[in-house]
Chains A and B, each alone.
Chain A
Amino acid sequence: MTTLAKRGLAITAVGLLALAAVYVLALAYTPIERAQGLPQKIFYIHVPAAWCALLSFSLVGIASILYLWLRDPRLDLFAESAANVGLAFSLVMLTTGPLWGKPVWGTWWTWDARLTFTLFLFFLFVGYRALRSAVQDPGERARFSAVLGIFGLLLVPFVHLTVYLFRTLHPQPIVLKPSAPSLPGEMLRALLASLGAYTILMAGLLMTRYALARDEREERDAG
C-alpha cells in the first residue's frame, strides 16, 4: 500500500472517530429543541453532509478546469474521486433531509428551495458518474467528464437562483449570515464540531479514494 493510501486511511479513521464523538455530543449534550423535539438533532448530521456534497462538487469543477488546462491525468483521477466521495455525502444529505422533514414539516418531500437544489446536485453527480462509466478510452473519458464538470459548476448558481426565486420552506440560514449566529451556544458548538468531523472524514475518504484509483491504474499499466 502506498503512503498516500495509508495516510488517507488514517485520516479517514480519525474522521470516523470524530464523527462518533459528534454523535455522543449531539445526542447526549445538546438541548432538546422546544418546537421540533428530537428530530431537530438530525440538523447536526444533515447540514455538514450538504456542505461536503457542495464542497466536493466544487472540487470536481476546479479539478476539471485544471485538467483541461494542464492535461495531467492525476487531475482527472482527482475529479473522479471527488465526484465519488461527493455522491456518498449527497446520499446522506438526501436521506437525512426527508427524515427531518416528515416529523417537522409533516411531509417526506416538498419542493422547497434547498431540498430541490440538493436533488439537482445529486443528479449532476449521477450524470457525471454515468458518463464516466460509458466512455472507454481514458483520454476521451477525461476530456468529456472535465467538460461536463465545468458545465455543472456553472449550472449550480443558476439552479440555486431558480429554486430561491420560489417560496422556500427551509429554515433560514442560521450560521452563515451577516448578523451573529442565532443558535444557542451548545447547539452551535455541536454543529461546528460536526462540520469539522465531516470535513476531516471527507478529506480522508477523498485521499484514500484517489490513492487507490492511482495505485490500481499503475498496477494495470505495469501488469
Chain B
Amino acid sequence: MADLFRAALAIAIKDIRVEGRSRTALISAVTFAALVLVIFNFARDPGALPKSALAPSVLWITFTFAAVIALNRSFALEKENAALDGLLLAPVSRSAVFLGKYLANLAFVFVVLAVTLPLFVLFFDVGFEGGLPGILAAAVLATLGFVAVGTVFAAITVRTRFADLMLPLLLFPFLMPPVTWAVQITTRLLSGRPVGEILGWLRLLALYDVVFVTLSLLLFPLLMDE
C-alpha cells in the first residue's frame, strides 16, 4: 500500500515537473478560461440579463471546459517518444499509474480553478459574502469526481484518432450531474441562502466521487494489458 502511494506520487511529481518546464498546457488552459469568461460577458445582452443571473453557469462551464483542456494534456505527453510504454514497463502497478496521473491532473485542474475563480469575481463583480467555503467545497468535490473519469477517458482517447475531440464527446455527459449540482449550490450561496440548503447537493457530489473514483481505480488497470 505504501509502495503504491510512493509510486503514484513519483509519477505525479514527474508530470508536474514536466509541465513546470514548458507550462504550455497550463498556460493554454488558463488563457482559455479567461477568454471564455470574456466571451460570456460579451455574449450577454446587459439590458436583458443581469450578470448575477448568469454568473453560476458561467463559472462552472468555464472551469470545467478549461479542465477538459488540461485533461487532454495528461496522456498526450506520454504518447510522444512512446513514453507511455516506458511507464507501463516500469515496475509499478497500473493502479499506481492511475493514481499518479489522477493526482497530477487534480493539481492542474486546481490551478485552473485558482485562476478562474478570481477572474470570475473580477469580471462578474460577484461578492461571495459567506458563501466562499461552500463554493470551494462544491468545486473540490465536483473536481475529485470528474477528473477521475476524465483521467480514465484521457488514457482511452489518447490512443484514438481525433483524441482532442473524442475526450469532450465522451466526458461531457459525465460532467452534467456534478456541474448541475455545483450550479445549484453556487446559485443558492450567491443569493445568500443558508448553508443548510446545500448539504444535500454536497452529499450527492460526494456520492458521485465515491462511485466514480472507485470505478476508475478498478477499471483503469484493465485498459492496457498487453
A and B touch in the complex (CB under 8 A): yes
Q: Per a CB cutoff under 8 Å, which of B169, B173, B211, B223 touches A143?
A: B223
Contact, CB under 8 Å: A154 / B166: no
B222 engages A147 (CB within 8 Å)? yes
Question: Nearest chain-B residue to A153 (Cβ)?
Answer: B215
Contacts known (A131-B156, A147-B223); A162 close to B176, Cβ less than 8 A: yes
Q: Which chain A residues lie closer than 8 Å to B208 at the CB level?
A: 158
Asked if residues A131 and B177 are in contact (CB atoms below 8 Å), the reply is: no
Against A, the Cβ 8 Å flags (1 = close, 0 = not) of B183-226 are 00000000000000000000010001001100100010011011
Cα–Cα distance between A184 and B159 once the two chains are bound (Å)? 54
In the complex, residue of chain B having the shortest beta-carbon distance to the beta carbon of A135:
B160
Interface string of A119-162 (1 = CB under 8 A from B): 01001101100110011000110011011101110110011011
Contact of A68 among B160, B180, B219, B226 (CB under 8 A): B219
Tell me if A151 and B174 are in contact (CB < 8 A).
yes
For the complex, give the distance between the alpha carbons of A165 and B174 in Å.
17
A150: nearest chain-B partner, CB-CB: B219
How far is it, in angstroms, between the C-alpha of A123 and the C-alpha of B177 when the chains are bound?
A: 14
Q: Roughly how many angstroms separate A154 CA and B214 CA in the complex, as a whole number?
A: 12
Partner of B152, one of A124, A139, A151, A161: A151
**B161–A127 contact, CB under 8 A?**
no
- A140/B174 contact (C-beta < 8 A), A130-B169, A150-B215, A154-B212 known: no
B170 within 8 A of A: yes
Size bracket, chain A contacts: 20 to 34
Q: How many angstroms from the CA of A24 to the CA of B218 in the assembled complex?
A: 50
| Cα(A63)–Cα(B216), bound, Å | 18
B162 contacts partner chain A, Cβ-Cβ < 8 Å = yes
B139 at interface (Cβ–Cβ under 8 A)?
Answer: no
Question: Which residues of the other chain, A, contact B170 by a CB distance below 8 angstroms?
Answer: 127, 130-131, 148
Select from chain B the residue with minimum beta-carbon distance to A157: B211
A144 to B162, CA, bound (A): 15
B170, chain A: closest CB distance, angstroms: 5
Are the CB atoms of A123 and B162 closer together than 8 Å? no
CB distance from A87 to the nearest CB of B (A): 15
Contact with A along B117-158 (1 / 0, CB 8 A): 000000000000000000000000000000001001100110
- Cβ contacts under 8 Å, B156 to chain A: 131, 144, 147-148
Query: A68 contacts which chain B residues (CB < 8 A)?
Result: 219, 222
A151 vs B150: C-alpha distance when bound (angstroms): 11
Partner of B160, one of A123, A134, A158, A161: A134
Does A159 contact B204, Cβ atoms closer than 8 Å? Answer: no
- Can you name 9 A-B residue pairings with CB atoms under 8 Å? A68-B219, A124-B173, A131-B166, A134-B162, A139-B226, A143-B225, A144-B223, A148-B153, A162-B177
Instruction: Kindly list the 5 A-B residue pairs having the minimum CB-CB distance in the complex, ordered from nearest.
Output: A134-B160, A158-B177, A162-B177, A144-B156, A127-B170
